Amino acid sequence: MKKIFFKYIALTSIFILTVSALSSCSKKADNKPHSIALFVPGIIQDSPTYEHLTAGTMKAIDDYNQKNQDPEKKVKLYIMEAGTNQAEWATKLTSLVASGKYDLIISSNPSLPELAAPLTKQFPNQKFILLDASFTGNQNIACVSYNQKEQTYLSGYISGLMSKTHKVAVIAAQEYPVMNNILYPYYARGAADAVEGTTCEFRIVGNWYDASKGAEITDALCAQGVDVIMPICGGASQGVITSAREHGIFLSYIDENSFAKAPGTVISSCTTKQEVAAEEAVLDYITGKTQWGKTKVVGLQDGYIEFIQKDLLYESTVPEPIRKEVAALVSSLMDGSVKVPEL
Ligand code: RBF
């Protein structure tokens, strides 16, 4: 927790104002340097998806800056943390756009296209790059979407194999289309395909930060016999970890390598390469290569989703026969001989 906090402080303090030089080849038509705003729909702390978005954006600008030093042309990277009150996001995003200061706004969240799209009519010069989102046909918006069917199916599969009670669960911060149509059902299907008859509960915290509620829900699930949980609830997962440790149950994570969050408790990390995707998206933008109006879908085969297998904590927590079975499934999904079932 302390480490994450310091990482967060470091990220925000270093990243809030970044100056970079741009080469003449990347200058905009109006000859002004690029100016990028990063809109965080939530808070960075305890949200790996936002931590990696920030880190990747920063890396792209830093790398580009180092290679293209033009002291005359400086640009600020501004980071706006919009906070956990989602009712305020539209107003905050609008004010960012209306300021006219940023030619690009980068963000990450499946709900962002519906906030950004109407603004592009009013402000036709504003460009948006949205990760973890899908939207096509708007020439001001480019999206990157992860194949989360593979990600959660694999997480469910290993959870099914590790469950002794054949009861697993998803703890979600809130309901949203990707959660209801992909993350939860594909996790449940993976668990049931691994061991027939495995059931999957679904619980909602109600926000992305309440660790006490996360612990309370986990306690209740344990009382019902659930012994593997996939938490997708940001900071609330701190409470899920505390309770899971107390009850000796397992956790399956997505988004980032999470084995070290609770050694012996975390059985899997099926990660999204959000940092790489953010870095590539920003570099493409600076060099004029963004494919506007399109959504780039990325997954396991092209390396944007990885089921982490080379980790000492994975090896010490998950028995070898289960690791072998999962490795075979990962290989089959990667070479295309097995496909995640369509639900
Ligand atoms: N994920 C986080 O890690 N932290 C958040 O604060 C967060 N807020 C979200 C708010 C909304 C409205 C939606 C639709 C998703 C949010 N996500 C958040 C989830 C994130 O986009 C992604 O679905 C999960 O991280 C699983 O990959």
Closest ligand 1 atom, residue 84 Cα: 6
**Helix, strand counts (H, E) of the chain:** 12, 13
The neighbouring-strand residues paired with 270 are 254, 307
Q: Which of 43, 45, 47 to mutate to test the pocket of ligand 1 (most atoms within 8 A of CB)?
A: 47
- For residues 267 and 47, give the distance between their C-alpha atoms in angstroms, rounded to a whole number: 19
CA–centroid distance, residue 178 to ligand 1 (Å): 10
Please determine, for residue 46, whether its predicted confidence score (pLDDT) is greater than 70.
Answer: yes
> Greater confidence, 111 or 286?
111
The neighbouring-strand residues paired with 203 are 171
CA separation, residue 128 to residues 32, 149, 287 (Å): 18, 25, 15
Residue holding tokens 């001989």?
337
Residue nearest to atom 19 of ligand 1 (CA): 109
- The pLDDT tens digits for 179-207 are 999 999 999 999 999 999 999 999 999 99
- For residues 105 and 133, give the distance between their C-alpha atoms in angstroms, rounded to a whole number: 14
Strongest mean pLDDT among 13-17, 66-70, 195-199, 284-288: 195-199
Tokens (6 digits) for 297? 């879908």
> 86: which DSSP letter?
G
Query: Which residues are near ligand 1 (CB < 6 Å)?
Result: 41-42, 47, 49, 86, 109-111, 132, 176, 178, 208, 232, 234, 254-255
Please determine, for residue 267, whether its predicted confidence score (pLDDT) is greater than 50.
Answer: yes
Q: Which of 171, 208, 271 to mutate to test the pocket of ligand 1 (most atoms within 8 A of CB)?
A: 208
Range in 57-71, 170-184, 294-308, 321-335 the model is least confident about: 57-71
Q: What 3-state class would DSSP assign to 205?
A: coil
| CB 287 within 8 Å of CB 26 | yes
CA–centroid distance, residue 134 to ligand 1 (Å): 14
Q: Is the pTM value of this prediction over 0.85?
A: yes
Please determine, for residue 12, whether its predicted confidence score (pLDDT) is greater than 70.
Answer: no
Please determine, for residue 317, whether its predicted confidence score (pLDDT) is greater than 70.
Answer: yes
Angle at 198 between CA 155 and CA 157, to 5 degrees: 20
Please determine, for residue 73, whether its predicted confidence score (pLDDT) is greater than 70.
Answer: no
